[in-house]
């Protein structure tokens, strides 16, 4: 049986699908972000211990989650690419990396700005913070490596290896607050227990988290379109796309085409 979604593993199909999906993702991200931030700033009450400083949680936790989720997604696509030789898998992993790196940086940045007023320090070498910093280095290493290799197949394979080896770090980050004595607090929201925070706070955080998901998916789909065009630049369908675009540009601006020829 041929599963219907396998046809989207073909780069041309996936290019079209991604083009239809990414605008919805960005609209969804804007709506969810607006709702989440409104709840976070105007509905959620002041924290009894931390005053208003705790409101950093509404971006710090979503950013941190995204930094881990996106690395896991890269590892997933990498495994798919190595196992099934699907053509877009490596490109999806590469399309996700910059967004993951951004969220990882934002997690560290917002954490520092939260740590200063609450702990009295911007940074401490405890297990949670250090393992998150290692994640940022993994992202940077992945991006530097994949961009340094010109051969497409070797690029995908080398990147997949880094993604799959580095993903070991994600559970280390997640469980670091349990395994070691950290200055960083334990999780306020866990998969096994009822969350230890007010409901409005929780909903605000979930709203922003979903917004970040939608943003990350939209960004990856947008970026993978460019990567597909680059990878498939000598195929007929990409050449035809480029020709039709060049033609329509020439019609809009004939003087420029004369100068450029």
Partner 1 sequence: MNWANSEAFWAMGGYGLYVWGSFGVVAIGLVAEVLMARRASRQIWRNLRDEVSDNQAP
Q: Is 245 in the site for partner 1 (CB under 8 A)?
A: yes
CB of 258 to partner 1, least distance (A): 12
Give 151: exposed, middle or buried? Use CB within 10 Å, 0-12, 13-18, 19+. exposed
Distance of CA 19 to the CA centre of its chain: 18
Nearer to partner 1, 152 or 180 (CB): 152
Options 23, 52, 137, 237; binder of partner 1; rule CB under 8 A: 52
Using the contact rule CB under 8 A, the part of the chain among 148-156, 159-167, 185-193, 219-227 near partner 1 is 219-227
CB of 151 to partner 1, least distance (A): 18
Options 6, 23, 246, 254; binder of partner 1; rule CB under 8 A: 246
| Number of residues this chain uses to bind partner 1 (CB under 8 A) | 44
Options 70, 73, 138, 238; binder of partner 1; rule CB under 8 A: 238
Name 76's Cβ contacts closer than 8 Å, sequence gap at least 6. Answer: none
Options 79, 82, 113, 143; binder of partner 1; rule CB under 8 A: 113
Alpha-helical (H) ranges within the chain are: 11-38, 57-84, 89-119, 127-148, 152-166, 169-179, 199-231, 236-252, 254-260
In whole angstroms, what is the distance from residue 7 CA to residue 5 CA? 5
In whole angstroms, what is the distance from residue 200 CA to residue 214 CA? 21
Q: Which of 115, 117, 118 lies closest to 126, judged by CA?
A: 115
Using the contact rule CB under 8 A, the part of the chain among 1-9, 47-55, 137-145, 166-174 near partner 1 is 47-55
Using the contact rule CB under 8 A, the part of the chain among 12-20, 102-110, 125-133, 136-144 near partner 1 is 102-110
């Amino acid at each position: 049986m041929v599963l219907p979604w396998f046809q989207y593993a073909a780069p041309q199909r996936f290019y079209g699908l991604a083009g239809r999906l990414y605008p919805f993702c960005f609209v969804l991200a804007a709506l969810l972000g607006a709702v989440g931030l409104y709840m976070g700033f105007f509905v959620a009450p002041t924290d009894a211990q931390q005053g208003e400083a705790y409101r950093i949680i509404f971006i710090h936790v979503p950013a941190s989650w995204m930094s881990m989720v996106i690395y896991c997604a890269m590892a997933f696509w990498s495994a798919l690419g190595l196992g099934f030789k699907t053509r877009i898998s490596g490109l999806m992993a590469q399309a996700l990396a910059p967004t993951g790196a951004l969220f990882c940086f934002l997690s560290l940045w917002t954490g520092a700005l939260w740590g200063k007023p609450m702990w009295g320090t911007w940074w401490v070498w405890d297990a949670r913070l250090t393992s998150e910093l290692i994640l940022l280095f993994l992202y940077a290493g992945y991006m530097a490596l994949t961009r340094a290799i010109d051969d497409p197949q070797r690029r995908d394979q080398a990147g997949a290896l880094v993604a799959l080896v580095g993903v070991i770090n994600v559970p280390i980050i997640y469980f670091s607050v349990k395994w070691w004595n950290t200055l960083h607090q334990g999780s306020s929201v866990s998969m096994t227990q009822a969350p230890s925070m007010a409901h409005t706070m929780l909903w605000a955080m979930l709203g922003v988290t979903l917004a970040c998901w939608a943003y990350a998916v939209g960004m990856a789909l947008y970026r993978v379109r460019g990567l597909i065009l680059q990878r498939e630049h000598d195929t007929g369908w990409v050449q035809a796309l480029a020709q039709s675009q060049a033609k329509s540009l020439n019609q809009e601006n004939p003087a420029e085409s004369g100068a450029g020829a």
